[in-house]
Structure 1
Amino acid sequence: MGIRKALIAALVATAGIALPAAAQPQAVDAKRFGVYVLVADVDRSVAFYELLFMKDPQVRTPALVGFDVAGGLFGIVDRATFAPGTPAGGSVRPYIRVVDINAAFAHVNTLAPGRIEDGRVTTEGPFSFFRFTDPDGNTLEFFSLTVPR
């Protein structure tokens, strides 16, 4: 919800004034969350992400490939087709929660040696993470969260 609608809704709620039905804020009826990275070479990136996620893509067209990652769609999109002129890398910062941060780090370190930021897992309180780049310079972050019981 936009800040303006949220402010109006809050003011109306505290004032006891009803808005007409058309003005009532509506939730987005989302079916699935996704994110995509822009790439120069779809086939090269698909090979990288198949190894990273250890699975085949769920969706595949010549210019867009999608992987099911924890119920969301992680897309690989051909930059020349969908976003010409967009600079390489840094167009998005996907972050993915993993079960075992150390196992994920070992896997990525095997797959993309030398592309892990600071070359280590960073831990801050219950939050541990590391960032790495794909073949097109897009940065991804894997994280884990230890919730005290």
Structure 2
Amino acid sequence: MPWGTLLADGETVERYRAQVLQRGPDDCWWWLGAITDTGHGSFRAGSHTTQTSRVVPAHLFGYRLAHGADALAGGLVVRHRCDHGACQNPGHWLPGTRGDNNRDAAARRRLAGHALTDVRGAAGRARAVQAAIAAADPERLDEAIAAALAAGNPSGAYQDSIF
């Protein structure tokens, strides 16, 4: 994958940033574009005109945008400390192995009110947050997001973060 070329394309970077609802430094920054069945953002980087067009996971594009094209050398993956695959906040990401990522999920999937306990699954949760953002009064955006997150948890409560 030509990450350096994709990251150097100003139009691609602008399109990526336009799909991110950037909030406070500790909040999740929600992906507003396409969502995969795993709840991650999907992004068409590059251009058909220059034959650089590639569909990539949004968080991989964002991670490399924040840390450099070669940031995930050696087969590392991006782990979401917040456990929201659609989150684009660089402060919520850290590199690790697939084993690290699996251990993270195993340790947190039984925590009451946690993102991994959402009965809608990761994609359902991400799409519910997107719908809440689209329908929300801008003055009540945080409340709308919180309600969308809480709606998928059996207890009706949502634990925003564990880190």
TM > 0.5 between the two?
A: no
Higher-Rg member (1/2): 1
Structure richer in strand, relative to its length: 1
Structure richer in helix, relative to its length: 2
TM-score for the superposition, normalised by structure 2: 0.23
